Amino acid sequence: MTPRITLKNTNLKVFPLCLGGNVFGWSANEEESFAVLDAYVAAGGNFIDTADVYSAWKDGNKGGESETIIGKWMKSRGNRDQLVIATKVGMWDAQKGLSAGNIQSAIEGSLQRLQTDHIDLYYSHLDDASTPLYETLEKYSELISQGKIQHVAASNYSTTRLREAAHVSQTQVLTSYVAVQNRYNLLDRNDFESDAGMACDQMGLQSIPYYGLARGFLSGKYQPGSDVQSVRAGGVAEYQNDRGWTILKKVEEIARELNSSPSAISLAWLRAHGSLPIASARTIEQVNELVEIVELSPKQIKDLDLVSQ
């Protein structure tokens, strides 16, 4: 069985691939979502990421659909105690921002939808400059003392704001962010590595990046001249250029060397750079690619570094 790792600054032991829940209630219906979740757990997985806003963007949805599906699944399987659940607050229009009042309302909604009494990792989904950091962190500290959340993390934050938050936590003796969830993959490197990634290194924060497969582009299912029928296909257009195809070609070359998949290679590169990636799946076949934990050689890591500069 794949060894679990302990997230920095926590007692949470997790599988080295976090399953993203953004597709649940969007491109995967409840039955398909249950199958994906079952396959992930069967492979040894225990770390599931969602958000209150998932998936409000779909016509007919209001938000909270992903949490609701995960909650139903956990109740039906009776496995909540074996899982590490992460969700987020602040981006959903119905629960916007990081004020104390909104966080209080949002956490109660998430707990109800997830059918649980606590969240293991609770993210500030989007920085809220209009709310003092002290107010946000004080509310999180209160929720931790009540046992409703275990740890807090930040998503879509800059190094400057992460440092400011850490200063408030230290000087006011409040809980502090333990992890950062920003966009990071072989195709999206510069923004993270030149900003929040440096904070992770210097402040000892755990990097848990989203879009680990660049919206699915690095899975290899997109090829020059091909037309992929997917609700996510539109978001992949930004990668379909000479640089994107060159990077994908190198990923596929290494996948052949290791008798693996492009998805597994792309996620292995993130791990080699100290991150614990998030990736989502709509089918059991996709899950099987995500949970394959491979180790790249120094040369393979260097080759991917060079081609993706």
Would you please indicate which residues are annotated as catalytic (active-site) residues? Answer: 54
Contact 231, 27 (CB under 8 A): yes
Q: Which residues, other chains included, contact 283 with Cβ-Cβ below 8 Å and sequence gap of 6+?
A: 32, 35, 36
Gap between the Cα atoms of 47 and 20, Å rounded: 9
Pair 56, 92: CB distance under 8 Å: yes
* Contact by Cβ (8 Å): 284, 41: no
In sequence order, what are the beta bridge partners of 210?
183
Q: Find, among 80, 83, 77, 113, the residue nearest to 95 by Cα.
A: 113
Pick from 241, 240, 270, 266: which is nearest to 255 by CA? Answer: 266
Length of the chain: 309
Angle at CA of residue 305, ends 299 and 309, nearest 5°:
150
